[in-house]
Amino acid sequence: MYAKKEAEKMDEVVEYQRRVVEKIKALSLERLKVVLDFIEYHEEKEELEATLEVLNDKETMEHIKAADDAWEARRMEEFMPWEKVKIN
């Protein structure tokens, strides 16, 4: 059920992307600059909102602090090698 909803959501994303590209192709250079500014503003806003969400999560911040402390103390046994984490 979850996979079906994710697939439907992805289909919706692809459709919106297609429509955006279609509309962008018809714009003048000046309008394209405005659209780019708008997109970049929203991109930065999303990143800021995600950062604020992490900063406001006390448990997450405690985990980050603990990881920073472990790194500074060179307790490498507390970390997992990238090769075990990455997805091929």
DSSP output for 16-57: HHHHHHHHHTT--HHHHHHHHHHHHHHHHHHHHHHHHHHHT-
CA of residue 57 relative to chain centroid, distance: 17
pTM comes to: 0.61
Specify the DSSP class assigned to residue 77. Answer: G
Question: Taking 90 as the threshold, does the pLDDT of residue 7 lie above it?
Answer: no
Q: Coil, helix or strand for 88? A: coil
pLDDT at residue 47 in the model: 97
Give the whole-angstrom CA distance, residue 3 versus residue 8.
9
pLDDT band per the 50, 70, 90 thresholds, residue 88: low
Over residues 33-85, the pLDDT tens digits come to: 999 999 999 999 999 999 999 999 999 999 999 999 999 999 999 999 888 88
